[in-house]
Amino acid sequence: MTIQTMTLGYARMGKRRELKKALEAFWNDASDAESLLKTSRDIDVENWKTQLDGGIDCIGVGDRTLYDSVLDWTVRLGLIPPRFRGLQGLELYFAMARGQTGIPALEMTKWFDTNYHYLVPEIKADAEPQANFSDFLEIVRQSRSLLGERAVPIVLSPVTLLHLSRRKGKFEDDLAKLLPLYVDLLEQLKDLGITQVQLHDPIGVKSGVPDLQTAMTETYSRLTEVGLRIHLVSYFDDLGENYGWVTQLPVAAIGLDFTRGRNLELLQTQGFPADKQLGVGMVDARNVWKIRPSSVRATLEAIRTVTTNIYLHPSASLQFVPHDATQETKLPEPLRQVLSFARQKLEEVVLLSADDPETALAQIQRQWQAFEQFAPATPRVHERLRDLTVSDLERSLPYQQRRSHQPQLPAFPTTTIGSFPQTPEVRKLRLQLKRGEITQSEYEQRIDAEIAQCIELQEQVGLDVLVHGEFERTDMVEFFGQKLSGFAFTQHGWVQSYGSRCVRPPIIYGDITRTEPMTVREFEVARSLTSKIVKGMLTGPVTMLNWSFPRTDIPRREQAMQIALALRDEVADLEAAGAQIIQIDEPALREGLPLKSERWNEYLSWAVDAFRLAAAIAKPETQIHTHMCYCEFGDIIHQIERLDADVLSIENSRSNNETLFEITGAGYKHQVGNGIYDVHAPIVPSVEQMVQQLQTGVANLPTEQIWVNPDCGLKTRRWQEVIPALKNMVEAAKILREKP
Ligand code: GLN
Ligand code: ZN
């Protein structure tokens, strides 16, 4: 018998990022609200049609958003922080998303372990939420006119919403305020003729969430009374210790992710209630690869021995993958054939639901075989990894001993994080090169002119350690990926990162090797122009992995180690070219942490090893820097110590010195680059502000441990802001040096 199919949300930006363009036009006053809303609606309708034509039985609707769907629920529930009072409609919405003069936006943070960012709701203890679901109900109404019974509204569970919020009051009080509003929503959906809804409740996959059972039991008992079929949907990991009671909650169906974690094992050992339907999240919504026929076949068979009352869906919303792999006509055929973006994921769900999927599965199997023949396999990398010993991950001298061999600089040495403004002219150069309008050597000459200007400027400003400015880099991962073999790049593979921001992650499809030096040319150009020290700049192995779509048949550890080997060779080459300081950025190291804290150590152990493999080749005289931004260190500081970087630069200005306190509180002994000014705001901080920020640092760390720098790269800033800000920063450092 064919199995029913369902979707849990779809790629939202449009095939050609139409929503991005519409949003930016609206923000720049180049278009009006009506045309923005029309674009958003058109994309959604097109997505519905794609899913309908794709043969999906139950289509998740209501995930359309102008910025972020968590924000949408926050606004619908009337959870408006007092500072936004008085604003209305789109003005209110975008003020909460992006801030307004004098009114800071909501905080933004990562959605579970994805690269998607949501806006964090703020709920005061005395909040009196007043719901208005009219936009949602309108979307549902529209979807029903096209999809009829197939439309299944997607609702964010109040339990997940509250757990992701900044709250002041007691959890049960906040939940008690929200539940009647949700009951009301479900009633209104019922009045529209809706019979089933999805409640997305991914919080259930996190470990150690306090009182989760009470909150979810209370929630689903109340919501079930309305009389709709409730699909409780979880994703991104297994239900772990919550499996037993979650599967007993009073709902009609439970959706589980069978692509991550050990839900299959839980199902097999603990069973599944006969009166409920099981949603099988089998097609991986978090990567770009087609299903592996033998493994999905085995999983499905194993599930069927426990329950046959199932329906199939992607493992999560398809917002995490690009639209359509058939658009990638420039990729080699054997690779393209095994890629699966949102449209192909739909096809896979449908084919798995068919009575006899064997013919289709056999074809996918053949495509995988062709891919395996084609994908670069480099035995040499495997040999090198196999032959590694512990000493390959170890600097030749411990920190305290190598320190005196490294460059001696004034107290409070000043530097930057690497990138300088990427002006429209610089971006145009790359476009011209790509279009063949300028030759490679013309391109290099123009880049070198940028480097020269940047060096001169840094000398004028009086920085101690200079950088070349990263003008040749589009993006810190893409740049290296393009130079390494084993990475592929798409033309249209955009996924939403936040709001209108999209990223196009590279795809790791084979063994990773470096064919030639990647950064030495620009480093040498910069070095030849100054007598000051120029830092070599690299992106770390873990960040490259975490910001790509990795292969799923090779452990992430191994892919990180392969990248690390390539970087290790680059470190050696930079050193040979005269680099006394090399920075290896790892801003994405923390975000790779698994959702379950019991798996953190396993991840951190190889992630830190990968960094060490890249860095440890450096001679004791070479100072290794690393940079991380916008992350909390508290719980992982000891693993950060194990990186054994000589200098760790951090964001510290937005967190009000909290990041620094975490580090110093844990007794960190190496040097810390104190990120004393926020590069994301178009503001020039004063000397006094920076002196003050630094003084807090001095009070907490011995002077010898402190460096002075902005909190991240300056790529998105304009020169008019950068120059005075850096001047003030250098001035602030001087003032501190002169203090007794
Ligand atoms: N070196 C990079 C830059 O300056 C670091 C960027 C980052 O941390 N995200 O742009
Ligand atoms: Zn940064």
Taking the CA of 678 as reference, the closest ligand is: 2
- Does residue 363 belong to any structural domain of this protein? no
Give average pLDDT by consecutive 10-residue segment, the chain, 740 residues.
Answer: 91 95 96 98 98 98 98 98 95 94 87 92 93 98 97 98 95 97 98 98 94 98 98 98 98 98 98 97 98 96 97 98 96 98 98 94 97 92 96 97 97 97 94 95 97 98 98 94 96 94 95 97 98 98 97 95 98 98 95 91 97 98 92 81 96 74 86 87 88 86 93 92 97 92
Task: Look at residue 680 in the predicted model and tell me its pLDDT.
Answer: 76
Dihedral angle, C-alpha 712, 716, 719, 721, nearest 10 °? -70
Q: How far apart are CA 326 and CA 490, in angstroms?
A: 11
Residues 423 and 313 in one domain: no
Of the bound ligands, which one is closest to the alpha carbon of residue 654?
Answer: 2
Residue nearest to atom 6 of ligand 1 (CA): 713
Three-state DSSP class for 56?
coil
Give the number of other CB atoms < 10 A from CB of residue 739.
10
Residues 6+ apart with CB under 8 A from 327: 15, 491, 492
Contact 223, 252 (CB under 8 A): no
Cβ 595 under 6 angstroms from ligand 1 = no
Contact 247, 272 (CB under 8 A): yes
DSSP string for residues in 664-729: HHTT--SEEEEE-S-TTSS----HHHHHHHHHHHHHHS-GGGEEEE-SS--TTS-HHHHHHHHHHH
- Which of 261, 287, 321 marks a domain boundary? 321
Closest to 67 (Cα-Cα) out of 27, 106, 119, 28: 119
Tell which one of 420, 426, 468, 470 to mutate to probe ligand 1, the residue whose CB is within 8 A of the most ligand atoms. Answer: 470
Quote the CA–CA distance of 275 and 262 in Å, as a whole number: 22
Residues 100, 235, single domain; the answer is yes
Closest ligand to residue 535's CA: 1
Distance between CA atoms of 276 and 281, rounded to whole angstroms? 16
Task: Indicate whether residue 645 lines ligand 1 (CB < 6 A).
Answer: no
Residue 373 belongs to some domain of the structure = no
Q: For ligand 1, atom 9, name the residue with the nearest CA.
A: 587
Q: Is 313 annotated as a binding residue?
A: no
Dihedral (CA of 11, 14, 17, 18) sign: negative
Single residue among 277, 303, 321 that ends a domain in this structure:
321
CB atoms within 10 A of CB 30: 11
Could you give the CA distance from residue 575 to residue 29 in angstroms, rounded to a whole number?
A: 50
Tell me, yes or no, whether 307 and 445 share the same domain: no
- Angstrom CA distances, 651 to 74, 416, 464, 551, stand at 28, 12, 19, 31
Q: Which long-range contacts (CB under 8 A, 24 or more apart) does 267-274 make?
A: 267/303, 267/306, 267/307, 268/302, 268/305, 268/306, 270/243, 270/244, 271/306, 272/247, 272/306, 272/307, 273/247, 273/248, 274/307, 274/309
107 & 202 share domain:
yes
Q: How many domains does the chain have?
A: 2
CA distance 330 to 333: 8
Final residue belonging to a domain, choices 271, 302, 321 = 321
310/415 same-domain check: no
Question: 280 has which bridge partners?
Answer: 256, 312
How far, in Å, from the CA of 417 to the mean position of ligand 2? 7
Query: According to the model, what pLDDT value does residue 740 have?
Result: 67
Distance CA 556, CA 594 (A): 12
Cβ–Cβ under 8 Å, residues 426 and 714? no
Contact (CB, 8 A) for 7 and 346: yes
> Residue 667 annotated as binding?
no
**Ligand-binding site membership of 651 (annotated):** yes
The CATH number assigned to the domain holding 278 equals: 3.20.20.210
Alpha-carbon distance of 720 to 724, in angstroms, equals 7
Which one of the listed residues 163, 382, 625, 680 is annotated catalytic?
A: 680
- Ligand 2 mean position, distance from CA 629 (Å): 4
**What is the per-residue pLDDT for 633?**
77
- Cβ-Cβ contacts under 8 Å for 205 (sequence gap 6 or more): 112, 234, 235, 236, 237, 238, 239, 240, 257, 261, 595, 596
Q: Please check whether residue 382 lies inside any domain of the structure.
A: no
Give yes or no: residues 280 and 418 share one domain: no
Give me the pLDDT at residue 635, please.
Answer: 78
Q: Check if the beta carbon of residue 233 is closer than 8 Å to that of residue 8.
A: yes
Between CA 443 and CA 429 the distance in angstroms is 7
**Tell me, what's the pLDDT at 24?**
94
DSSP-derived pairing of the beta strands 108-110 and 117-119: antiparallel
The answer on 270 and 121 residing in a single domain is: yes
Return all residues near 457 (Cβ < 8 A) that are at least 6 apart. 723
The answer to whether 313 is a known catalytic residue is no
Torsion, CA 72, CA 74, CA 75, CA 76, rounded to 10: 80
Tell whether residue 501 is among the known ligand binding residues.
Answer: yes
Domain co-membership, 303 together with 194 = yes
pTM: predicted TM-score of the whole model, two decimal places: 0.94
20 falls within a domain = yes
- How far apart are the C-alpha atoms of 510 and 541, rounded to whole Å? 15
Answer whether residue 473 is part of any domain: yes
Rounded CA separation 374/368 (Å): 10
> Residue 635 and residue 624: Cα distance in Å, rounded?
23
- Does residue 385 lie in a domain region? no
- Give the burial class of 582: count Cβ atoms within 10 A of its Cβ; 0-12 exposed, 13-18 middle, 19 or more buried: buried
**Ligand 1 centroid to 535 CA: how many Å?**
13
User: What's residue 396's pLDDT?
Assistant: 97
3-state class (DSSP) for residue 427 = helix
What are the respective helix, strand and coil percentages of the chain, to the nearest 5? 45, 15, 40
DSSP structural state of residue 265: H
Cα angle at 724 between 721 and 728, to 5 degrees?
Answer: 130
Shared-domain flag, residues 285 and 416: no
Distance (Å) of CA 182 to CA 36, 132, 566: 28, 11, 53
Whether 160 and 298 map to the same domain: the answer is yes
Residue 1: inside a domain = no
Q: Give the domain extent around 419.
A: 408-738
On whether both 71 and 195 belong to a single domain, the answer is yes
DSSP for 548-574, written as a single string? SB--SSS-HHHHHHHHHHHHHHHHHHH
**Residue of the CA atom closest to atom 3 of ligand 1:** 713
Q: How far is 56 from 8, CA to CA, in rounded Å?
A: 11
Residues 438 and 507: beta-carbon distance below 8 Å: no
**Distance, CA of 541 to CA of 565 (rounded, Å):** 9
Q: 309 and 413: one domain?
A: no
Indicate if ligand 1 lies below 6 Å from the C-beta of 418.
Answer: yes
What is d(CA 474, CA 134) in angstroms, rounded to the nearest whole number? 42
- Give domain status of residue 401, yes or no: no
Q: What is the distance in A from the centroid of ligand 1 to the CA of 127? A: 39
Residue 118 CA: distances (Å) to CA of 109, 127, 370, 630: 6, 21, 39, 15
With a 6 Å cutoff on the Cβ, whether 476 touches ligand 1 is: yes
